[in-house]
Structure 1
Amino acid sequence: MWQTESYSLSTLIFLHLLGLIYFIAISGLFIQFRGLIGQKGILPLDEFKTLLFNRIGKKAYRKIPMLFWFGKGDAFMGAVFGVGLLASLLLFLGFAKPLMILILYGVYISIIYAGQDFLGFGWELFLIEITTHAFFLSLTTLPNPLVFISFNFLIFRFHFEAGTVKFESRDPNWRNLTALSYHYQTQPIANATAWYAHKLPLFFQKLSCLFMFAAELIVPFGIFFNEPIRLITFFILASLQWFIWLTGNFSYLNYLTLTVLVVLISNRFLEPLFGPAPNAETNFYLSIFLYVVGSFLLFVQVVAFANHFFPNRTFQKILNPLRTLFFGNRYGIFAVMTTKRYEIVVKGSEDGTVWKEYLFFHKASEITRRPTRVSPYQPRLDWQIWFLPFSTFDSEHWFQRFLTRLLEGEESVLKLIRKNPFEDKPPKYIKAVVYDYVFSDKKKKKETKAWWERTYIGRYTPTLTLKGKDNK
């Protein structure tokens, strides 16, 4: 088993890089929050807070812990984002690391709750759980053994659970290794590389899927071995992240995972590049405190891992109070592979006869538009629209509000889309329809420059106006 004192340099590098991850995450949200949750946004935060307080009273402060309870309005929200951005830069520079991590923890938990439908993705929960460990790792020069072991177990659990959920779902596309032949085309926001990856032979898609399963289900056990094996584990898991990044747009997930994986590299491999590891500093009382905290952190990780495979009430009683703080999370995405890409297309009209299409920055739209690379930035509106075909219009309150804002011509919301076909005045009518999108074949792309082909499926919404529904 490895010695934690051999990872003081990688832990220090990880803490600096965590500041960069937070800057990426918060800055991406900062330029979108007014249209999403601002006073005139799709889901205004002030309305959300009023609703929570009316429903559960003063318990809301405890059940929904966020800094936004202490103020309201876009200016206050902007100030909270600004504090987070400053703290992330100071952490990256290595200034007062424990304090900066604590500030970032409070800011980002607040943002997740405030973001409502637009936040709470797996990588955001992973970031919070990472940050909890990072705070305690930042208190000493040498990583506390139990805190460090808990952190490594979290890294193992994150990868291993990502692999197991695909088998637990009993999805035949994962079991017969054909899932990736659909994934490149049906993922939330495809990029141009995904078009080319989609054209690769089926045997290559199956080999890629097999590599992914090996990387998620076998390789993570290398985390618990000696320094050379941990280094090999780092390179294999980093390679997996690189391939995911190359063919997809998954926010800052790949960058975050690579940042975390740095702690797998021991001092002897890093010192030739970064110089000698920092000198050890010890404090008896702090050490005892961290052993107690580390025992608790590791206990929670083990319980969360056990609950993933053997869920029961005892485990839930332990984990439920911690879920408010996004600790002890369950991990794993794409448990069931989507095999069809149904895109919601929003159209407006002045007379109910001639319809013009709203165009988004990054979701699939015009068939001749090249799929974009956008990660680590995450366009929250584009992402959320991808989920709509899995539910009905009546159940998607946020989308109803979005269409209302388009009918109102709300500027902060219109900034979230690439082209508003009604620049002079908002449309009188609006509707959303469903298209089936598939990647074009090589011949058609060469002849027509089309990256996509699309087929009309039907309506997603009725025709709507500000005065109510229209039967046209």
Structure 2
Amino acid sequence: MEWFTADSYWLGRLVFQRVLAAVYLVAFLGAALQFRALIGERGMLPVPRFVARVPFRRAPSVFHFHYSDRFFALWAWAGCAVAVALLAGADGLLPLWGAMLLWLVPWALYLSIVNVGQTWYGFGWESMLLEVGFLAVFLAGDDVGPPVLVLFLLRWVLFRVEFGAGLIKMRGDPCWRKLTCLYFHHETQPMPGPLSWFFHRLPRPLHRVEAAANHVTQLAVPFLLFTPQPIATGAALLMAATQLWLVLSGNFSWLNWLTIALALSAVDFRRLFGDAAAPPADLGPAPLWYEVLVIAVTAGLLALSYRPARNLLSRRQIMNCSFDPLHLVNAYGAFGSVSRVRHEVVIEGTSDPVPRLDSPWREYAFKGKPGDVRRWPRPFAPYHLRLDWMMWFAALSPGYAQPWFGPLVERLLAGDRDTLRLLGRCPFPDRPPLHVRARLYRYRFTTWRELRATGACWERSYVREFLPPTRLESTTSADP
């Protein structure tokens, strides 16, 4: 079938695949380095406890059949190895069926991790990586042109990501309709980046232009993805540029980079660069079995799209939701509401046997979340600091801190090494504290004058107690 492949998109496919492989690498690396304290056998939300109460059909994962920290580590590092191979172009050295199997491996590996990750893996970009990763399996190898149906499904994902985010904003916080949300967003977002202070200090008229441009990009431009070229290419490049703006303004894990990869898959690079982007001359026709398989998968995914599509049209739209345990077709969205005030939970410890107000309380420093008012925000994306993100949610409401915050405090009191590795600095290097407390502070970006006078990018003020001084019943430290 001549219509089945679109050879002019071969470079867009190549760029998409390499970016996706890089995102896979970051995701598996984060899993390997953070899992012990979060979901390990002695973690805050242990996998064995989760699989004991959740059946396999609701959360398919290899860890239902066997779990140990060593096995999980091997699983995650195997994902890193496969991602490196894909990043190096190993799929191009294999026949079509071999390339498909190679791309299937990281999807299956990461699915097993996400489905037992619980709260720590409840972010929309986890499902997005799985949905996009599954589609990548059917993009074929270098000896066949990219199939039109899979390219369409990738645009369908991009449409839901952007349009879903646009709708949730218009239906949610009134400040989006008033174009005032960005008066606050850069300061109150989950994890500011090194340029967030400067974005926040932009003149308010520019913030209104920024919000209006966001609405255009998310509510109007996505429809242009399904128009003829070169309009679709222009729409995709505009979306990619918008995502780069978000990359500069904050840390959003791999959400922006995966969205950029989706946008680039819709770009007809040959129209932009001529023969320099021409496909190889040895591209062959797609075999019949491959055409039948892609058509069948497309039909199945379009059928599964019913609930996400209905969600887009619903007045009660939900965001970042999976409708099937394989995360094949999902609902997306972001910042349906914007906080006007930034709160942070600050955790402190003391070695005093009886804690008092004048006790020497020393503060735990996190890698990404604000703490020391003089510490400038740092770039971490696309790497995902899961504990730091959940600390932001805990500051929004204590309900978000259940059931992991208590175990976190216990591990700090025990001096658990795996937990301390998630932090930026432990103020008790020799022995753990006898008491730990948590306090809620209001943070705001300083003004230009305050920054020049104090050198601090943040100003904070005490709000209330979040957790009173707490100690272990037994003061013995955890085993190293």
TM-score strictly above 0.5: yes
Give the equivalent residue in structure 1 for 2:183: 181
Give the equivalent residue in structure 1 for 2:284: 280
List per-residue Cα deviations over 1:31-68 (Å, max 9, x = no partner). Answer: 21222222333222233333x2xxx5xxx122211122
Inter-partner Cα distance in structure 2 for 1:321 and 1:386: 23
| 1:114-125 to 2 correspondences below 5 Å | 114-125=116-127
Inter-partner Cα distance in structure 2 for 1:453 and 1:334: 24
- Which residue among 109, 134, 138 is the counterpart of 1:136? 138
| 1:80-91 to 2 correspondences below 5 Å | 80-91=75-86
Q: 1 or 2, which has the higher helix percentage?
A: 1
2:326 aligned counterpart, secondary structure: coil
Inter-partner Cα distance in structure 2 for 1:12 and 1:267: 11
CA-CA distance at 1:272 after TM superposition? 3.9
- TM-score normalized by the length of structure 2: 0.89
Give the equivalent residue in structure 1 for 2:259: 257
Inter-partner Cα distance in structure 1 for 2:67 and 2:127: 25
Q: Does 1:304 align with 2:299?
A: no
* Contact preservation (8 Å) 1:2, 1:225: no
* Contact preservation (8 Å) 2:4, 2:149: no
* Contact preservation (8 Å) 2:103, 2:136: yes
CA-CA distance at 1:303 after TM superposition? 4.4
Q: Which amino acid aligns with 2:19?
A: L
Give the equivalent residue in structure 1 for 2:343: 342
- Which residue among 415, 435, 439 is the counterpart of 2:441? 435
Inter-partner Cα distance in structure 2 for 1:12 and 1:305: 29
Q: Does 1:466 align with 2:462?
A: no
Inter-partner Cα distance in structure 2 for 1:67 and 1:465: 37
| 1:307-386 to 2 correspondences below 5 Å | 307-310=311-314, 322-351=323-352, 352-353=355-356, 354=359, 355-386=361-392
**CA RMSD of superposed structures (Å):** 2.4
Relative to 1, partners in 2 of residues 1:13 and 1:94: Cα closer, same or farther, differing over 3 Å?
farther
Give the equivalent residue in structure 1 for 2:425: 419
Inter-partner Cα distance in structure 1 for 2:347 and 2:450: 26
Q: Does 1:397 align with 2:400?
A: no
CA-CA distance at 1:174 after TM superposition? 0.8
Percent identity over the alignment is 31
Relative to 1, partners in 2 of residues 1:288 and 1:73: Cα closer, same or farther, differing over 3 Å?
closer
CA-CA distance at 1:454 after TM superposition? 0.3
Relative to 1, partners in 2 of residues 1:141 and 1:16: Cα closer, same or farther, differing over 3 Å?
farther
Inter-partner Cα distance in structure 2 for 1:376 and 1:293: 30
Give the equivalent residue in structure 2 for 1:160: 163
* Contact preservation (8 Å) 2:237, 2:267: no
Relative to 1, partners in 2 of residues 1:2 and 1:261: Cα closer, same or farther, differing over 3 Å?
farther
* Deviant stretches of 4+, over 6 Å: none
CA-CA distance at 1:219 after TM superposition? 1.1
1:447 aligned counterpart, secondary structure: helix
Stretches of structure 1 that go unaligned for 5 or more consecutive residues are: none
Inter-partner Cα distance in structure 2 for 1:8 and 1:276: 6
- Which residue among 100, 103, 124 is the counterpart of 1:101? 103
CA-CA distance at 1:226 after TM superposition? 1.7
Inter-partner Cα distance in structure 1 for 2:80 and 2:286: 31
Inter-partner Cα distance in structure 2 for 1:305 and 1:215: 19
Inter-partner Cα distance in structure 2 for 1:216 and 1:149: 18
Give the equivalent residue in structure 2 for 1:210: 212
Q: Which amino acid aligns with 2:90?
A: G
Relative to 1, partners in 2 of residues 1:73 and 1:160: Cα closer, same or farther, differing over 3 Å?
same
2:436 aligned counterpart, secondary structure: strand
* Contact preservation (8 Å) 1:2, 1:226: no
CA-CA distance at 1:438 after TM superposition? 0.2
List per-residue Cα deviations over 1:287-339 (Å, max 9, x = no partner). Answer: 12322221222333354213321489xx99xxx99521112211101101111
User: Bigger CA drift: 298-307 or 119-128?
Assistant: 298-307
Relative to 1, partners in 2 of residues 1:394 and 1:331: Cα closer, same or farther, differing over 3 Å?
closer
Relative to 1, partners in 2 of residues 1:393 and 1:236: Cα closer, same or farther, differing over 3 Å?
closer
Q: Does 1:74 align with 2:85?
A: no
Q: Which amino acid aligns with 1:347?
A: E
Inter-partner Cα distance in structure 2 for 1:253 and 1:311: 25
Give the equivalent residue in structure 1 for 2:478: none
- Which residue among 30, 44, 47 is the counterpart of 2:46? 44
Give the equivalent residue in structure 2 for 1:227: 229
- TM-score normalized by the length of structure 1: 0.90
1:461 aligned counterpart, secondary structure: strand
Q: Which amino acid aligns with 2:432?
A: P
List per-residue Cα deviations over 1:147-199 (Å, max 9, x = no partner). Answer: 33222222112111110100111x12111111111011001111221101111
CA-CA distance at 1:2 after TM superposition? 12
Inter-partner Cα distance in structure 2 for 1:462 and 1:311: 41
Relative to 1, partners in 2 of residues 1:367 and 1:310: Cα closer, same or farther, differing over 3 Å?
closer
Stretches of structure 2 that go unaligned for 5 or more consecutive residues are: 92-97, 475-480
User: Bigger CA drift: 389-398 or 67-76?
Assistant: 389-398
Inter-partner Cα distance in structure 1 for 2:187 and 2:473: 38
CA-CA distance at 1:394 after TM superposition? 9.2
Inter-partner Cα distance in structure 2 for 1:142 and 1:3: 5
